[in-house]
A and B are shown apart, each in its own frame.
Chain A
Amino acid sequence: MSFTPPSYQFGFADPESSRARTERGLTEATVREISALKNEPRWMLEKRLAGFAAFQAAKFPSWGPDLSKLHLDEITFFSRATDRAERTWDDVPDRIKTTFDRLGVPQAERALLAGVGAQYDSEAIYHNLKQEWQDLGVIFCDMDTAVREHPELVQKYFGTIIPATDNMFAALNTAVWSGGSFVYIPKGVKLSVPLQAYFRINANQVGQFERTIIIAEPDSYVHYVEGCSAPTYSDSALHAAVVEVFCKSESRVRYTTIQNWSNAVYNLVTKRAVADRAATMEWVDCNLGSQVTMKYPSVLLREPYSRAEILSLAIAGSGQHQDAGAKAIHLAPHTSSLITSKSVSFGSGRTSYRGIVKATKAAHHVTSKVVCDALLLNDESRSDTYPTIDIQHEDNQIEHEASVSKVGEEQLLYLQNRGLKPEVATALIVNGFMEPIVKELPMEYAVEMNRLIELEMEGSVG
């Protein structure tokens, strides 16, 4: 069976290594092999097979970025850490090395981010935190471990918000997932220190098909942070992660993602949360790099007084298309949503905002506000906005605003008049534009983001 998209140009070329990689292309045998290699219980194998069946029936989305160069036949869907092709530090492009220098990425992290096979030892750092979490009854481990050690919890929640039938890439993930986080916060526990995905990466690179589940019991709080603003190497063309978040009554979950894939990656992610009575879900989603990103963090406000706040930042440089957005689905009355999207396109980059605000018949006294702004820096840059507003009950207040502009000439002139070089002036303005979202990032990331913009502007202006 093949999945040849309408037209294709190049296949995905990477040095073959040993048999502990599965065959290219996806077959049922591959799925079984993955489960066997992980020594999984029967129920998880069955979920994977159901995912595979759904994948076979699924079609590529009829909207969105061009996926014609994504040749699924050519992808390896699973490989063990030790069997991956080795990259040496010499292989890493100079530009990336310079970026690490300029961003001040610690030496120890560089190898990991560059995919150069050295392990980053985070054990020492998070050992104490680990003890504290255990004492509180918090579970934080990778998904593979969770399947083994907390099967009843995983079984209860896995695939309940994002079933395999949801979309093609969710089906794919269900079949071949590996890695990802499992987080469980007991009732009333509020973690003051963010949980970092980083802590539980024990492979030498980030997984292609991570599966993450976060469960926040009533009246709990957790801030989960994943990704890195420094360019991150991947040897896979496709990343299709699935994230399911359960916010029980009066809980609050903030999920921050910063992703900057440094090469031609298709980053197609399905992220969805459900919020119960008076719960708050916050998605902070920053998309940089990658060739194509499709990511629409969603919140289903299924009980009264729940709230969604979604911040989306997308930066697309030449050859990149960030198709990102947010979905707030109001299923219950007295719910609210706030969506802020900022996108920057430079070079021939393209950003699209795709969002939905929906209020069903049962959802009255809903307030929602969406603000999406786009900044275009060059003549070849492109921006699109597609915000759907679907309101099925009259008693609601829904607002949406969007604007597109170029960096203002007068602003640039003013700054240059004060002695700033054009690229520094532009960086300052772009950082100011992004500020409402960047200020919500943990401090270190915010600083990195600002520096990253300065770097990017050096290349693009003049």
Chain B
Amino acid sequence: MGAQRLSFQSGVTHELSLRSLPSSHTLNLTEVGDHLVLLRDLHPSHQELTIILASPGVRANIVFRDTVGGTAANSLILHIKHAAPSTEAETDIHLLVEDTAHPRITGTIHILSEAKNTQSYLSLHALLDGPEAKCWLLPGLEIQNPEVKCSHAATVRSLQPTDLFYLTSRGITPNSAKVLLTESFLHQ
């Protein structure tokens, strides 16, 4: 899944429960230094969240790890906007999809033309657990300045029978094996 590219110091922490935010919300990061943005609780219907790195020297570690279950048909559009030069962001989304959930996630990195010397990375990973689990992902990039280092990776997969077999062959019950693998996915 790729190691984290950027390392962050402890700085300002923003905890956002998406469920309790309106369907359209913007978080402006203006203070120079490292920010940790923790997202949780996917909004039950449709939501658009924009995180703006508004001043030079702003660095953001955006983390969203969640289990989406039930009949959830949530839709999240996340914009990571670099609006100033010398900004850096690492966005890491891990979603465990269960039951008949079918979330729709768009995560786009925007590098505006004034945002030179920017680094931005996005990881968008879904683990489908269950015969009815589905997902729709769109990791996007909109780059208007070439002085950037920017990439993203996205994967969709399910629990692998060979991984489960390896664990059960060591005596771990199938249920425990599943929990071990899904938990480690969410906490990577």
With contacts A392-B134, A395-B158 taken as known, whether A383 is within 8 angstroms of B141 at the C-beta atoms is yes
Q: Are B151 and A401 in contact, CB atoms less than 8 angstroms apart?
A: yes
Interface pick from B8-16, B30-38, B51-59, B142-150: B142-150
> How long is the Cα–Cα vector from A403 to B147 in the complex, in angstroms?
13
Q: Of all chain B residues, which has the CB nearest A371? A: B153
In whole angstroms, how far apart are the Cα atoms of A382 and B144 in the complex?
5
CB nearest to A390 among chain B residues: B136
Q: Which B residues lie within 8 Å of A387 (CB)?
A: 138-140, 154
- Which chain B residues numbered 141 to 179 have a C-beta less than 8 Å away from chain A? 141-158
| Contact in complex: B137, A404 (CB < 8 Å) | no
Size category of the A interface is 20 to 34
Roughly how many angstroms separate A62 CA and B153 CA in the complex, as a whole number?
27
Question: Using Cβ atoms and an 8 Å threshold, which residues of chain B touch A378?
Answer: 146
Query: With the chains together, A405 CA to B151 CA distance in Å?
Result: 9
Q: Is the CB of A389 within 8 A of B150?
A: no
Q: Which residue of B lies closest to A367 (CB)?
A: B157
A391 to B131, CA, bound (A): 12
Q: In the complex, which residue of chain B has the Cβ closest to the Cβ of A409?
A: B147
- For residue A381, CB closer than 8 A to chain B, the reply is yes
Kindly report which residue of chain B lies nearest to residue A376, judged by CB atoms. B146
Q: Contact: A396 with B158, CB < 8 Å?
A: yes
- Confirm or deny: B133 has a beta carbon within 8 angstroms of a beta carbon on chain A: yes
Question: Across the interface, do A384 and B158 meet the contact criterion of CB distance under 8 Å?
Answer: no
Secondary structure dominating the interface of B: strand
- List chain A positions with a Cβ less than 8 A from chain B: 361, 374, 376-379, 381-406
Pair A404/B150 contact, Cβ less than 8 Å:
yes
Judge whether B140 and A384 touch: CB under 8 Å: yes
Apart from A387-B154, A394-B128, A398-B157, list 20 A-B contacts with CB within 8 A: A376-B143, A383-B141, A385-B139, A385-B140, A387-B138, A389-B137, A389-B138, A389-B139, A391-B136, A392-B102, A392-B134, A393-B128, A395-B158, A396-B157, A399-B155, A400-B155, A402-B141, A403-B151, A405-B148, A406-B148
Q: Are B143 and A389 neighbours in the complex by a CB distance under 8 Å?
A: no
Taking CB as reference atom, which chain B residue is nearest A406? B146
25 contacts between A and B (CB under 8 A): A374-B141, A376-B146, A378-B146, A379-B146, A381-B146, A383-B143, A384-B143, A385-B141, A388-B137, A388-B138, A389-B135, A390-B136, A390-B137, A394-B130, A394-B131, A395-B158, A396-B157, A396-B158, A397-B155, A399-B155, A400-B152, A402-B141, A402-B151, A404-B141, A404-B151
Which residue of chain B has its CB nearest to the CB of A389?
Answer: B137
For the complex, what is the distance from the CA of A361 to the CA of B142, rounded to whole Å? 31
Asked whether, in the complex, the Cβ of B145 is within 8 Å of the Cβ of A384, the reply is no
Number of interface residues of B (CB under 8 A): 33
Q: Assess whether B90 is interfacial by the CB under 8 Å rule.
A: no
Q: A333 to nearest B CB, angstroms?
A: 13
Complex-state Cα separation, A403 to B151, whole angstroms: 4
Give A376 to B146 CA distance when docked, in angstroms. Answer: 5
| CB neighbours of A389 from chain B (8 A) | 135-139, 154, 156
Q: Which residue of B lies closest to A352 (CB)?
A: B142
Give the residues in chain B near A385, CB-CB below 8 Å: 139-142, 152
Residues of B within 8 A of A386 (CB): 138, 140
B129 touches A (CB below 8 Å) = yes
Contact among A388, A394, A403 for B150, CB-based, below 8 A? A403
Picked from B131, B137, B145, B158, the residue with its CB within 8 Å of the CB of A379 is: B145
Please indicate the chain A residues that have their CB under 8 angstroms from the CB of B151 in the complex.
401-404
Contact present for A374 and B155 (CB under 8 Å): no
A400–B156 alpha-carbon span in the complex (Å): 9
Q: Give the 8 A-B CB pairs with smallest separation, nearest first.
A: A376-B146, A403-B151, A394-B128, A394-B158, A385-B141, A406-B146, A398-B156, A389-B137
Interface residues as binary, B82-117 with A (CB distance below 8 Å gives 1, 0 otherwise): 000000000000000000001000000000010000
> Using Cβ atoms and an 8 Å threshold, which residues of chain A touch B136?
388-391
Given contacts A389-B137, A393-B134, A406-B146, contact A401 B128 (CB under 8 A): no
Cβ–Cβ < 8 Å partners of A382 in chain B: 143-144
